[in-house]
Chain A
Amino acid sequence: MHCSVDKWIWAFFFVLPFMVHSSSGKLGAQPLIKLATSTSTDNSGLLKYLHPTFERMTGVKVHTIAVGTGKALALGRNGDVDAVLVHARAAEDKFVADGHGVNRRDVMANDFIIVGPRADPAGIRGESDVAAALRRIAEKKSRWFSRGDDSGTHKKEAALWEAAALEPSGRWSASLGQGMGKTLLAADEKQGYTLTDRGTYIAMSAGKKISLEVLVEGDNRLSNPYGVIAVNPKRHPHVRFAMAKKYIAFLTSEQGQLLIAGFRMNGKVLFYPVNGDAPVTGHGIREPS
């Protein structure tokens, strides 16, 4: 009696680790691609909603590695992933120009917004010029929270401060080195301003996790286009280029674009599809009211 129980416990310790190991099959069993992407796309739930269709259609499994845009591109440069889905147009172009990636396609866009406390101490509510809004925040030394993590959003923020001919420095601004969700929570906690993609903001405020309000939106410079790029097989011969191309084709296909357009979180549209090869215009993309 004692002995048979023992056997099961021993089995638990020595067989289980290897059993699950083989069942989760590293390669061989099912073809897969590794996709590095920004946290905003993954946290929104969009990829979880898109990928089952792709996997059903092609039999290719997508392993999503959600990191900041900067790190996603670094993983692509090192050849550790097969494709990247990111949002930092200038960095993407450089990635392609340097020969790290090929077949770049626009996929979708949403927009950035500046959010802040209801009281709006800097008085930027409704400002249509984002640079002017940032200048006012700096003048009033209102609290400003920056991602500070080399993500797509962080790169965009840096570009906007440059447009405002200012640098956020001094005690009123804080660089967190955190993801969007944490940055929004910090801004909410301390009643400060921050730049966010609309998707994460909707997700966070719908869950009543934050009470920040949208104060500045609609400036052309706030558009947030997402692009997908295959890692260059000439540089990294091992990448699963054929499957990465399939994935890109799926995202930019009519079906993929319709799926993106149909994605809702709490009844709100988070991403707007763009048509395949056409460049993103993205001027004044807004959520439909």
Chain B
Amino acid sequence: MSTFILKGIQVSFEHSKALEIDDLEIPVNGMALVTGPNGAGKTTLLRMLAGLHPPNRGTLRYKGEDVFYGRKGLSHRRRVTLVAQDPVLFRKKVLANVAFGVRARGFKSEIAAARALEALKMMGCEHLAERGASALSGGELRRVALARALATGAETLLLDEPTAGVDAENSERLQQLIASLASSGRGIVICTHQPEWAQSQAQFRMRLDHGRIVSVT
């Protein structure tokens, strides 16, 4: 059962409900696509799936296991990683940034550096390895952030608007890469309000509006 299972989920911020999902199953073998206008609750959903923000009510299971948050959520956070819509890098060199998740899993620095370099190559930005994090353009930053998530080796990637603010050429590249990741067995959940490119490739599509499911296909 390679799925997220959501039951009776309710997430609210200061009295306003951000998400309300009674019953949902999101498959994570291949690509799942979540669409909807701004403010539909897409980001809230991903943060919950990533184990970063607990729901106020309801249960969430990932591949048959309950998802925990906070200190107890470490093992879940090592299986599922989120690339935010507006990612931040640490004040380190690019290579050290990308190696972070590998180091966090207890690997030696040489191994971490090798895996980080590999991930950077996949994203076509190994030339940035020795740059400082503050010296990147917006598109470079986004690709480095994706490389950082890839390097962790997490089995499922949650991508929040991965192509927003990336120029046409790089956007194309990213799309191809994400597609190849999905076909190589990684779970991918993508949130976007411009769904065109992913529509055809996704095995699962759902649409959110005002925190509720509008459609699932």
| Touch test A–B (CB under 8 Å) | no
**Chain A residues at the B interface, C-beta cutoff of 8 Å:** none
